[in-house]
């Protein structure tokens, strides 16, 4: 740990030096940080079943507690803001070690065997549904979520606002194909109900490569409930497939858990402000709780809404998913202009901010910001899917 600078730095993991901090617990009091909001950082090792050996980092900063899984692509398992949990209840209860994931299982759906986090990154070589793309078979949502971090660092600022930063480097490399390096940063400012995410994708190779990323952000009860509503500043809206088209009229209304609901997915091109920022808000029935997802639309230009309001035992959840692409297989996205390329040595930044809103006033303020973005613009609603899928 570095103690002479205005930022305390604590290495947690480094594959280059084979350093592993193991289980630990540090506090602002022990580090002599004069924050009035208590800070506690803990790493524990899980045991039993498919979570054997998984390290879990818990960031407790005042009223906010964030649980991060470094070996699962720096995923955020869930967030507690006060007494309210933001995340969802998947039938997958354990925090699954990627060693137990076979992504090619069940026709490329093996990724689902570990799917239970609030924030899941999909990419970076590809994202979206499994299937053939030329000579290559693509599994569901890419490889990054099941790739362990190679380096993890903790930083705490000594001076106000005492920002806490957890950073991880996750490499996606394949001989003759890809040499991607992704730095993932999570920021918490004590006393603020926000979690900021800033990721950078760098092409370390010598050739330009295609890339895709979807931030699969997932929320269940209590913010997701019958009578709740999703608010998005919409430029263009379309259903993902024919099944989703049947629910286009109430795409942003939240029903009670419904047997055999399956999933309805909607494609959105959002409106953004003069700085390129846009946001979405999901709130409960009386608008006393909400989750706001704000992000930069210059590098995440489209939004996927995943409405999976099945029975709780099946997974009652909604996904608010900014991305470079929709959730179609990559081969369908090129004609839509949604498969960008990254040049050798180039870095692309992705920025998001989660607002955990636990009062009617903060929900109302978020809704007002979205209504301002929408303004007088009338959404273009396309009743047919952008892609005609086989079968």
Rounded Cα distance, 76 and 117, in Å: 6
- pLDDT > 80? residue 5: no
Q: What size, in residues, is the chain?
A: 391
User: The tokens of 227 are what?
Assistant: 């009578």
What is the pLDDT, as a whole number, of residue 85?
98
What is the pLDDT, as a whole number, of residue 310?
97
∠ CA 65-94-314, nearest 5°, is 100
| Inter-CA distances, 311 with 237, 255, 263, 265, 266, Å | 26, 11, 11, 17, 20
In three-state secondary structure terms, 195 is strand
Mean pLDDT, range 105-119, rounded to an integer:
98
User: The tokens of 98 are what?
Assistant: 């990627």
For residue 262, what pLDDT band results from cuts at 50, 70 and 90?
A: confident
Average pLDDT, the chain: 96
Q: Whole-model pTM above 0.95? A: yes
Rounded Cα distance, 39 and 52, in Å: 28
Partners of 26 in beta bridges = 41
- pLDDT > 60? residue 358: yes
Q: Which tens digit of pLDDT belongs to each residue from 214-256?
A: 999 999 999 999 999 999 999 999 999 999 999 999 999 999 9
Higher pLDDT, 32 or 107: 107
What is the pLDDT, as a whole number, of residue 390?
87
Residue 112's φ and ψ, nearest 5 degrees, are: -70, -15
Q: Which tens digit of pLDDT belongs to each residue from 266-297?
A: 999 999 999 999 999 999 999 999 999 999 99
User: The tokens of 270 are what?
Assistant: 């959002």
Q: Where are the alpha helices (DSSP H) in the chain?
A: 105-108, 242-245, 330-333, 360-374
In three-state secondary structure terms, 100 is helix
Q: Cβ neighbours of residue 151 under 8 Å, at least 6 residues apart?
A: 13, 14, 15, 16, 168, 169
CB 349 within 8 A of CB 199: yes
DSSP string, 252-317: TBPPPP-TT---EEEEEEE---TTSEEEEEEE-TTSSSEEEEEEETTTS-EEEEEEEE--TTT-EE
- pLDDT > 60? residue 4: no
Q: Look at the block and give the residue holding tokens 């995440």.
A: 300
- pLDDT > 60? residue 330: yes
Q: Cβ neighbours of residue 386 under 8 Å, at least 6 residues apart?
A: 238, 267, 326, 328, 336
Q: Which tens digit of pLDDT belongs to each residue from 59-109?
A: 999 999 999 999 999 999 999 999 999 999 999 999 999 999 999 999 999
- β 229-231/380-381 pair status: unpaired
For residue 33, what pLDDT band results from cuts at 50, 70 and 90?
A: confident
Rounded Cα distance, 326 and 343, in Å: 22
- pLDDT > 70? residue 2: no
Q: Which tens digit of pLDDT belongs to each residue from 128-164?
A: 999 999 999 999 999 999 999 999 999 999 999 999 9
- The CATH class that applies to domain 7-381 reads mainly beta
User: The tokens of 175 are what?
Assistant: 């001989």
| Inter-CA distances, 376 with 233, 236, 369, 371, Å | 11, 14, 14, 9
Of 145, 135, 190, 138, which is closest to residue 168 (Cα–Cα)?
145
């Amino acid at each position: 740990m570095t103690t002479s600078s205005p930022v305390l730095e604590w290495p947690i993991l480094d594959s280059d030096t084979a350093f592993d901090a193991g289980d630990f617990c540090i506090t602002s009091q022990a580090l002599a940080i004069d924050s009035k909001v208590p800070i506690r950082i803990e790493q524990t090792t899980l045991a039993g079943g498919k979570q054997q050996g998984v390290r879990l980092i818990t960031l407790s900063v005042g009223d906010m507690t964030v649980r991060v899984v470094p070996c699962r692509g720096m995923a955020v398992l869930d967030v507690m803001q006060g007494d309210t949990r933001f995340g969802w209840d998947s039938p997958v209860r354990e925090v699954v070690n990627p060693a137990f994931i076979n992504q090619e299982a069940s026709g490329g759906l093996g990724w689902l065997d570990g799917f239970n986090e609030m924030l899941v990154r999909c990419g970076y070589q590809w994202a979206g549904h499994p299937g053939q793309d030329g000579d290559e078979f693509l599994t569901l949502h890419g490889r990054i979520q099941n790739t362990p971090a190679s380096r993890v660092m903790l930083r705490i600022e000594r001076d106000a606002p005492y920002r806490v930063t957890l950073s991880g480097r996750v490499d996606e490399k394949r001989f003759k194909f890809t040499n991607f390096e992704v730095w993932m940063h999570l920021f918490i400012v004590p006393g603020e109900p926000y979690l900021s995410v800033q990721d950078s994708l760098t092409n370390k190779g010598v050739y330009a490569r295609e890339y895709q990323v979807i931030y699969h952000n997932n929320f269940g009860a209590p913010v997701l409930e019958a009578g709740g509503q999703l608010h998005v500043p919409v430029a263009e809206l379309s259903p993902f497939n024919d099944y989703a088209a049947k629910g286009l009229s109430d795409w942003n209304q939240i029903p009670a858990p419904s047997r055999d609901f399956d999933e309805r997915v909607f494609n959105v091109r959002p409106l953004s402000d003069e700085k390129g920022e846009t946001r979405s808000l999901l709130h409960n029935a009386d608008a006393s709780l909400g989750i706001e997802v704000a992000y930069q639309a210059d590098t995440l230009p489209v939004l996927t809404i995943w409405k999976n309001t099945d029975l709780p035992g099946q997974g009652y959840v909604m996904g608010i998913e900014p991305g470079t692409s929709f959730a179609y297989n990559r081969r369908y996205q090129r004609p839509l202009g949604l498969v960008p390329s990254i040049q050798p040595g180039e870095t692309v930044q992705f920025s998001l901010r989660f607002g955990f809103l636990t009062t009617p006033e903060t929900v109302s303020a978020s809704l007002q910001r979205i209504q301002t973005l929408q303004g007088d613009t009338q959404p273009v609603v396309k009743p047919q899917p952008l892609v005609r899928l086989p079968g």
